[in-house]
Amino acid sequence: MKLSVKERLILFSILPNETNFKTYQTLKAMRNILSLGDEEREAINFREGEVPGTVIWDNEKAETKNLIITAEGLRIIKEALDKLEKASKLTADTAELYARFLGVEAEVVERK
């Protein structure tokens, strides 16, 4: 699955922190897959933003990566996104990922 740096960071941030041991093993692998390596960080000038707790990078230099996500990993991602949706906590970014991972198309409302 092709994912941008931004999408990878968002997915990384919504993965559950508490789980059972079996799921923990999958989460550990998922975090490894989604994370940015040192070379990639350097290539895109990944750095802390001016606002504490934020990060920025040179998006023009960032490449979309084709990542292999297991069926179990996909299930965990879908559950995390569905949990946000049910709690009405989707942001514009997570809503895009929700639509993509859960196959939901946004309803287009035509202005009159």
Q: What is the pLDDT of residues 25-80, one digit of tens each?
A: 999 999 999 999 999 999 999 999 999 999 999 999 999 999 999 999 999 999 99
Average pLDDT score, the chain: 92
- Kindly indicate the confidence band of residue 107, based on its pLDDT and cuts at 50, 70 and 90: low
Place of tokens 């290539």: 43
Provide the whole-model pTM.
Answer: 0.86
Task: Report pLDDT for 48.
Answer: 95
Q: Chain centroid to CA 70: how far?
A: 15
Q: Please, which pLDDT band fits residue 103 given cuts at 50, 70 and 90? A: confident
